[in-house]
Amino acid sequence: MLVKFTSSTSGQIMMFAPVARLLLELVGKECTARGVITTEQLPHAIQELRRAADGATSHGASDAQDPDPDSSDDDNAPDGPPIGLSQRAYPLIELLEWTRKDDGFILWEAAKDF
């Protein structure tokens, strides 16, 4: 399921529900089919997402290494390193920051609660 985040001033982004759930929980929001991050909540949301992304970056460097670089099972090998929290949070952080500059708000919408 997809979750669409729409800024009142800056456009929109979409992400899969599990990622959206993680990010919304980090900022203290319930994962309902519809919700809002108000103008007043934007600074706190940006701060919390940045804190989580920075923490994931500092801890994630060792997690991205392949535990067995000589494995011969190329069919099941990932195409690259795993995508971390900081990379997943970046588009939402950018949307929040652009929206905050213009005193806007963010709405999210999904097919159902997630």
Domain boundaries, the chain: 2-59+83-110
State how far the alpha carbon of 103 is from the alpha carbons of 11, 48, 52, 55, in Å: 14, 19, 24, 28
State pLDDT tens for residues 5-31. 999 999 999 999 999 999 999 999 999
pLDDT tens for each residue of the chain, 114 residues long: 999 999 999 999 999 999 999 999 999 999 999 999 999 999 999 999 999 999 876 655 444 344 444 545 556 666 778 889 999 999 999 999 999 999 999 999 999 999
pTM (predicted TM-score) = 0.78
Collapsed DSSP state (helix, strand, coil) of residue 16: strand
